[in-house]
Structure 1
Amino acid sequence: MQPRGGYHRTTVLLLLRTAWSAACAVVLVVSGVAWSTVSTISTGVERSYAIPDDAPRSESGRNILIMGLTTRLDLHGDPLPDDVLRRMQAGESDRGGYNANTLILLRIPDSGPAIAMSVPRDNLVPLSSGGEGKIKEAYGRAKIVEEDRLRAAGTHDRRALERAGREAGRRAQVRTVSAFLDQPVDHLVEISLIGFFHIAEGLGGVDVCLRRPAKDPLSGADFPAGPQHLDAGQALSFVRQRHGLPNGDLDRTRRQQAFLSAVAKRLEGADVTAVQAMVDMAKQDVVLDARFDLVEFARNIPAEVRFDTLPIEGGAHLGGLDVNKVDQEEVRAKVAELASAPPPPPPNDGVPCVD
Structure 2
Amino acid sequence: MQSRGGYHRTAFHVLTRTAWVSLCAAVLAASGIAWATVSTISTGVERSYAISDDAPRSTSGTNILIMGLTTRLDLHGEPLPDDVLRRMQAGESDRGGYNANTLMLLHIPASGPAVAMSVPRDDLVPLASGGEGKIKEAYGRAKVAEEDRLREAGAHDRRELERAGREAGRRAQVETVSAFLNQPIDHLVEISLIGFFHIAEGLGGVDVCLKNATKDPLSGADFPAGPQHLDAGQALSFVRQRHGLPHGDLDRTRRQQAFLSAVAKRVKGADLAVVQALVDMAKQDVVLDARFDLTEFARELPAEVRFDTLPIEGGATIGGHDVNKVDRDKVRAKVTELATAPPPPPPNDGIPCVD
With normalisation by structure 2, the TM-score equals 0.93
Inter-partner Cα distance in structure 2 for 1:31 and 1:151: 47
Partner of 1:289: 289
- SS of the counterpart of 2:29? helix
Partner of 1:350: 350
- SS of the counterpart of 2:18? helix
How is 1:23-172 mapped onto 2 (pairs within 5 angstroms)?
23-27=25-29, 33-34=34-35, 36=37, 38=39, 40-172=40-172
Give the superposition deviation at 1:256: 1.1
Give the superposition deviation at 1:169: 0.1
For the 8 Å contact 2:38–2:295, the answer to whether it is kept is: no
Cα 1:31–1:154, aligned 2, differ >3 Å: closer, same or farther? farther
Q: Which has the higher contact order (CA 8 A, sep 6+)?
A: 2
- Alignment size in residue pairs: 340
Matched, 1:277 2:288: no
For residues 265-306 of structure 1, the C-alpha deviation after alignment (integer angstroms, 9 at most, x for no partner) is 223443211121111111110000000000000000011011
For residues 306-338 of structure 1, the C-alpha deviation after alignment (integer angstroms, 9 at most, x for no partner) is 111000011111110000000111111111111
Cα 1:22–1:123, aligned 2, differ >3 Å: closer, same or farther? farther
How is 1:253-264 mapped onto 2 (pairs within 5 angstroms)?
253-264=253-264
Task: State percent identity of aligned pairs.
Answer: 81
Inter-partner Cα distance in structure 2 for 1:42 and 1:227: 35
Cα 1:183–1:321, aligned 2, differ >3 Å: closer, same or farther? same
**Cα root mean square deviation, aligned:** 1.6
Inter-partner Cα distance in structure 1 for 2:86 and 2:78: 16
For residues 197-248 of structure 1, the C-alpha deviation after alignment (integer angstroms, 9 at most, x for no partner) is 0110001111111111111111110011111111000000001101111111
- Tell me, which stretches of 5 or more residues in structure 2 are unaligned? 1-15
For the 8 Å contact 1:142–1:172, the answer to whether it is kept is: yes
- SS of the counterpart of 1:116? strand
Inter-partner Cα distance in structure 1 for 2:281 and 2:194: 10
- Tell me, which stretches of 5 or more residues in structure 1 are unaligned? 1-11
- SS of the counterpart of 1:15? coil
Inter-partner Cα distance in structure 2 for 1:127 and 1:190: 19
For the 8 Å contact 1:33–1:295, the answer to whether it is kept is: no
